[in-house]
Each structure stands twice: as C-alpha cells, then as structure tokens.
Amino acid sequence: MAIFVPPSGITPGGTNPPPIGPLEVPSLAWTDAQGRVTLLSDRESGWILQPGIRGLDMPGYDRYTNASPGIDGEALLGVRAQPREVFLPVVFFDTSRAGFLANKRFFVRTLNPKLGLGTLTLTESDGSFRTIEASYVSGAEGDFGRDTSGLHWQTVGLTFSCPSPYWLGASVHQEYAAGATGNFFPVLPVKVRDSQVLGNTTIDNPGDAMSFPVWTIHGPATSAVITNTTTGLSFSVTASLGSSDVLVVDTRERVQAAVLNGTTNWWPNLATDSDLWGLEPGENDVSLTLVGTDGNTVVQLDYQPRFLTA
C-alpha cells in the first residue's frame, strides 16, 4: 500500500489529507450488483486510486503433474487458470471531517458482498473496455494507523475476488438468415435445396481463451446441426421449431441450457452425442445445417471474447 509523505509542517494523521498525485491508469469503475456505478478515481466525489494496483494482468495457474520412479523430471498433465484477485489502493478525502465520512460511507456501501457479484470495468482512452465479475473480499475494515489515516482522509487497500480468471471484451453479435434470394447471409457459398440451409462460415475469436457462445435459432426448422469443423465438435437439435418458435442454446460454462420461447426446457431435444462447444482463440470454421427452413429462419450468434489481461 502507498505510504504518503506529508508536506512540511503537516503531521501524519492530522487534519489535512496527504498529497494526492494523479495516477496514470485507464478509467476503472466498480458496478455493484444493484447497478450502481462508481468511478474508482473521482476526485470530485472524494476518492482516488493510488499506486500499487495488482491483478489486472495474467491470472495464476495450477499445474497438474505426474512423476515416475526412475525417470528424471515430471510429466505435465494439465494446466488450470485460477480465479484471480484484484487489489486496488484507494484514498478517501475531503476538506471537512463530515465530508470525508460521507464520501467514505457512500463508497463502502457499494462494496457489500451480500448484494451479489459486481463488475470491474477498465476503459481505455479510445473507448474500448474489458470487464470482469468480482466481489469485495477485504481492505475496508478500517486502518487508523499513523501513515494511513487522518481526520479528513484515509487510505484503504481493497481486494476483490474474481471467480473467472478472464476479462471479457465487448459482445460480438452475428446473424445468419435465409433470404429471398436463397442465400444464407453472411455465409457464402450457400445452397438452399429442399428447404435445407447449408452454410459455412469462419468466426474469428479475438480473445486469448476459448469463448462459449449463445445460439438463438428463430424457426421454422425441422432440425439443426451446428458444427465447429476446426475442433470437430457439434450439437444437434432433433425436434421441430415452428415459425414463431425461438430456441436459445447457451453453451457457457456453468450455464449450459437449451430453452424454447424463454420458458420450456429443450435439453431433452438435443442429440445425446451433442457437445456444447466453444470458440477457440483465432479462426474457427463453423458449419450450419438447418432443415425445414424458409425465408424467416434466422440463426444468431452472441459471445464475449475472454482475455488474460485487462
């Protein structure tokens, strides 16, 4: 945590805050589970980030190994990215004791982990951003030491726990539709024959890790097979969709589901050998095969790229 050096004539722990310099860091915001957005450097509101931020880059990793008698070294069996922690030093301040307390209490109220997961968002000067779900762990218990607080100021080191090790980029949305011309846009070349749509496309995942998409199929269709030909994995829908039906197949980890019209569980209507596959980093060749379609059939793809760093 940063240690402040008071200007000449001011005693640490006194009535004035320590010198607060600008921190060269992109805009960082905390959004709690109730949707309240708090900029973490907001001088006008009475708090500002300090040097010492940690946890914005690579996550930690668990390595799984196996050693064999008589063989030097070990075999690497696998690697798993750990949940990450983000450490954010913040100083609260005001010209009055009452103002300082009001600023700190307002900020701390948004940290309550019982509200649920919130989101940290880092925004660059060009408007690009990355987010990560997080929950407050520690740091705001109150340290009233000589070098950490005064009547009008206090420094805290906030630790947030992030269940996922990955930062998320902006959502990507793509649509593939059977048009009146017989094309299944934007997939080319495409053949429409006997109410069957065959389409091949390349989906470029710009992230550093596998991303798991959400597929939305607007009927009609009597069956659908969606295949990642790069990995050889696919899933199949074996029941018919009417012209007003909408099926959502969510492949995200710990969420996986198939829901018809927002209410009906359609998991039993996925083929037993289905694999709700993800998009590998880089280019993925994807095949869409739908039978029993017409000009109203649309397949939508939504996913968020996952990154190792903010």
Candidate ranges 46-50, 90-94, 277-281; pick with highest mean pLDDT: 277-281
Local confidence band at 237 (pLDDT 50, 70, 90 cut-offs): very high
Q: Is the model's pLDDT at 13 over the cut of 80?
A: no
pLDDT of 162 reads: 98
Q: Please enumerate in sequence order all residues whose Cβ is within 8 A of that of 294, keeping only pairs 6 or more positions apart, or say none.
A: 178, 195, 220, 243
Local confidence band at 86 (pLDDT 50, 70, 90 cut-offs): very high
Local confidence band at 148 (pLDDT 50, 70, 90 cut-offs): confident
**Spatial distance between the Cα atoms of 41 and 267, rounded to a whole number of angstroms:** 46
Q: Please enumerate in sequence order all residues whose Cβ is within 8 A of that of 101, keeping only pairs 6 or more positions apart, or say none.
A: none
Local confidence band at 227 (pLDDT 50, 70, 90 cut-offs): very high
pLDDT of 26 reads: 82
**How far, CA to CA in Å, does 160 sit from each of 53, 119, 222?**
12, 10, 47
Are the CB atoms for 160 and 86 separated by under 8 Å?
Answer: yes
Nearest to 208 by CA among 257, 169, 248, 247: 169
Q: Is the model's pLDDT at 211 over the cut of 70?
A: yes
pLDDT of 145 reads: 76
CB burial readout 15-24, b (16+ within 10 A) else e:
ebbbeeeebe
Instruction: Please give the single-letter amino acid code of residue 305.
Output: P
In this prediction, what percent of the chain has a pLDDT beyond 70? 86
**Spatial distance between the Cα atoms of 32 and 87, rounded to a whole number of angstroms:** 17
Query: First and final CA of the chain: distance in angstroms?
Result: 21
Nearest to 299 by CA among 218, 205, 190, 186: 218
Cα dihedral across residues 215, 219, 224, 229: positive or negative: negative
Instruction: Please give the single-letter amino acid code of residue 224.
Output: A
Q: State the average pLDDT over residues 91-109.
A: 93
Phi, psi (rounded to 5 degrees) for 182: 90, 5
Q: What pLDDT, in 10s, does the model give residues 54-63? A: 999 999 999 9
Q: Please enumerate in sequence order all residues whose Cβ is within 8 A of that of 70, keeping only pairs 6 or more positions apart, or say none.
A: none
8-17, 87-96, 250-259: the lowest-pLDDT one: 8-17
Local confidence band at 49 (pLDDT 50, 70, 90 cut-offs): very high
Residue predicted with more confidence, 6 or 25: 25
pLDDT of 146 reads: 73
